[in-house]
């Protein structure tokens, strides 16, 4: 899907639906927070949340005292919803409206977090563009935490086809510069009670 089409799709989703009306909504993103702590992130670590949208991960990171936070998403409507929710605290976050496959990083990050953005990239050229930006934006020695639908998870989300992964296939896709250091499964309950199987994989940027 071309970048402009992706942007239009997600702008439409977040314009029509509230943050708790989408399947991926989490009040408390426990798995993401645990893994960010596990990789040794400190209050001054630079953390970017790719496809963060209106996610409450940023709220929780602010609550924990993290000071260098960036949220990137295709949808300005999603980011605006997060800003409204955070009120005065929104000024503590760097907000970027962009497609991760065409965005050009202007700094390096210690932690790259992506829950359910990469698996929407069904075309090889889009995956390659994403991985190129991951390689430029993540410090050598930094960690990428990437969550996707697991092999037994849904085949579609928000009306779009996705690509399912396990840690091994995701690692093969990212390439040898990213060393798999941890993984875990999560059964996510949607707001309407459906269970979705996710896998979270942690990679260290080697070179």
Average pLDDT, the chain: 90
pLDDT(134) > 80: yes
Q: How confident is the model at residue 84 (pLDDT cuts 50, 70, 90)?
A: very high
pLDDT of residue 3: 57
Alpha-carbon distance of 207 to 130, in angstroms, equals 16
Summarize the confidence of residues 84-107 as an average pLDDT: 97
Compute the average pLDDT of residues 153-177.
94
Select, from the ranges 2-16, 22-36, 161-175, 189-203, the one with the highest average predicted confidence (pLDDT).
161-175
Q: At what angle do helices 3-16 and 76-86 cross, to 10 degrees?
A: 40
Looking at residue 37, what is its pLDDT? 98
Q: What is the CA radius of gyration of the chain?
A: 16
Lowest mean pLDDT among 72-86, 137-151, 192-206: 192-206
pLDDT of residue 38: 98
Over range 115-131, report the average pLDDT: 96
Per-residue pLDDT band for 204 (boundaries 50, 70, 90) equals very high
- Please tell me the distance from the alpha carbon of residue 150 to that of residue 107, in angstroms, as a whole number: 31
Copy the structure tokens of residue 78: 């999603």
Question: Across residues 63-74, what is the average pLDDT?
Answer: 97
pLDDT at 79 over 90: yes
Confidence of residue 207 (pLDDT cuts 50, 70, 90): confident
Cβ(68)–Cβ(46) under 8 Å?
yes
Strands laid side by side in the 93-97 sheet = 93-97, 68-73, 46-50, 109-115, 138-149, 195-205, 178-189
Q: Identify the band that residue 9 occupies on the pLDDT scale cut at 50, 70 and 90.
A: low
Provide the pLDDT for residue 78: 92
Protein fold of 3-14+27-205? Rossmann fold (3.40.50)
All structural domains of the chain with their residue ranges: 3-14+27-205
What pTM was estimated for this model as a whole? 0.89
């Amino acid at each position: 899907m071309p970048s402009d089409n992706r942007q239009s799709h997600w702008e439409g989703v977040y314009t029509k639906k509230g943050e708790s009306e989408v399947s991926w909504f989490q009040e408390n993103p426990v798995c993401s927070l645990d893994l960010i702590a596990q990789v040794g992130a400190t209050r001054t670590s630079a953390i970017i949340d790719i496809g963060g949208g209106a996610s409450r991960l940023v709220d929780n990171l602010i609550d924990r005292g993290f000071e260098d936070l960036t949220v990137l998403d295709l949808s300005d409507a999603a980011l605006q919803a997060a800003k409204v929710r955070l009120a005065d605290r929104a000024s503590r976050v760097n907000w970027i409206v962009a497609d991760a496959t065409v965005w050009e990083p202007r700094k390096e990050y210690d932690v790259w977090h992506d829950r359910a953005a990469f698996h929407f990239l069904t075309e090889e050229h889009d995956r390659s563009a994403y991985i190129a930006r991951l390689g430029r934006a993540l410090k050598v020695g930094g960690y990428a935490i990437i969550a996707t639908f697991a092999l037994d998870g849904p085949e579609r989300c928000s009306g779009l086809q996705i690509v399912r992964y396990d840690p091994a296939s995701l690692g093969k896709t990212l390439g040898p510069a990213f060393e798999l250091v941890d993984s875990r499964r999560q059964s996510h309950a949607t707001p309407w009670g459906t269970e979705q199987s996710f896998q979270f994989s942690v990679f260290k940027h080697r070179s």
